[in-house]
Amino acid sequence: MKNWKFWLGVLISALFLWLALRGLGLEEMWETLQDANYWWLLPGVGVYFLGVWARAWRWHYLLRPVKAVKTGTMFPVVAIGYMGNNIYPARAGEVLRAVVLKRQESVPISASLATIIVERIFDGVVMLAFVFLNLPRLAQLTADSGFVGNIQQVAVWGAAAFALALAAFLLAAMFPQPAEQLSRWAITRLGPVRLRPRLLEMAEKFLGGLASLRSPANALMVFATSVVIWLLETGKYWFVMHAFPFQVDFFTLMLMNGIVNLATTLPSAPGYVGTFDAPGIAVLKAAGVDAALAAGYTLVLHVALWVPITLLGAFYLAREGIKWSEEADKIETNPVQTS
């Protein structure tokens, strides 16, 4: 509560909630929620968990050069991580799943974090691909959408950022010796003297976590898996849509998925409050969906994305007997000891 990043996220969420709810008839939205056919959430949740399993397989694939861990072992850890992302600020769940995997399989945290960052880069690339694939459709949407009208420029800058990050990681993976020399040079000149040995060890493990990207075939496999993951998540958008009396095509939902998930990279309150809802409502309104209907659908979709994986992750975390507050304090007070 004393962390300024937490309060920055709360302020950004409040701003996005205001954008989402301004001019909205809450009584009309309540009526749409009462009339919804919630049975459609069941296949939506099923498709979403298929996507989570695919995420576990992707992480298993990325970590193979470090240690072979079965997908079935990865699945609970991934669920714990997504639970952490939903409950704690600053995507703390990513660190949490690295901590859990170290406890279970003795995989160095720095190596796990390297693969997790790679995952996020590929996710960003796919999200931007969803947006770029639908740029003609986006151009046809009405301008009365809050901020969706400027998404083309945002997508261009975002594409440049993710492309640079992906290129840097691919180069580090394909040329490990120069990358190690560069990291060693930076640490020995810029790192605190007492921490240099530990930092050098962490850098070595981190670069080891990129080993799966040394093969172009492996990088292509990770990208293809990422596409499947996000198509499955868009499938959940499609199933939940059938609970409400409106229809948009699958490509519009892909566009919504891309924009929403790019927006949730912004700091926000835990659970992506506001940063998920405002752009989702805006895209649907721009596509001609009634504002109250768009708000009701987006709210239900957000809850359906948040609750099942959070409950499952909490169950797995309790089964592990881990107290996240203790692990977080340990990481915050002495982060170099977590590698």
Residue type, 97: R
Q: What is the pTM of this model?
A: 0.84
Query: Which pLDDT score, from 0 to 100, does residue 132 have?
Result: 80
**What is the rounded distance in angstroms from the CA atom of residue 277 to the CA atom of residue 289?**
15
Query: Which pLDDT score, from 0 to 100, does residue 190 have?
Result: 82
pLDDT < 70 positions in the chain: 1-5, 139-156, 158-159, 323-339
Query: Which pLDDT score, from 0 to 100, does residue 232 have?
Result: 97
CA-to-CA dists, residue 43 to 84, 195, 255, 311, angstroms: 24, 51, 21, 18
- Chain segment 300-328, per-residue pLDDT in tens: 999 999 999 999 999 999 988 776 555 55
Residues in CB range of 141: below 8 A, 6 or more apart: 148, 149, 283, 286, 287
Q: How many residues does the chain have?
A: 339
Query: Which pLDDT score, from 0 to 100, does residue 147 have?
Result: 56
Query: Which pLDDT score, from 0 to 100, does residue 269 have?
Result: 79
**What is the rounded distance in angstroms from the CA atom of residue 335 to the CA atom of residue 295?**
41
| Ordered alpha helix ranges (H), 242-336 | 250-263, 277-286, 291-320, 324-333
- Chain segment 95-109, per-residue pLDDT in tens: 999 999 999 999 989
